[in-house]
Amino acid sequence: MSDIPEIVQRAMVGSVTDIGQLTTEDIKILNKYVKLGYLSKGKGGCFPIIKTIWACPTFDFQKQRDEAVAYMMQLAELDKTRLNFTS
């Protein structure tokens, strides 16, 4: 696996999210491996802003997005109970 770029290896093991810190060269490399079938590219990321993500081909972008939204809803409910607390 030594001839595979480090950023592609990270995407294969977990995921790589474009939050504005990737170089043009990083994005070219990631997209090249998408075309070769080693990675998939989709939209996901933390709520509320959708980001571009590169990950292994079996990565479930919709599930990741749903989990992020559910987590934010859980935090919102927690804030409601905390803010409505009276003693």
How many structural domains does the chain have?
1
Instruction: Give the domain range for residue 71.
Output: 6-83
Three-class SS state of 55: strand
The domain spanning residue 10 has which CATH number?
1.10.10
Residue 52 in any domain: the answer is: yes
- Cis-peptide, bond into residue 5, ω within 30° of zero: no
- CA-based end-to-end distance of the chain: 60
pTM of this structure: 0.75
Residue 1 in any domain: the answer is: no
What would the pLDDT profile of 3-42 be if each residue is shown by its tens digit? 999 999 999 999 999 988 999 999 999 999 999 999 999 9
What is the rounded distance in angstroms from the CA atom of residue 54 to the CA atom of residue 34?
8
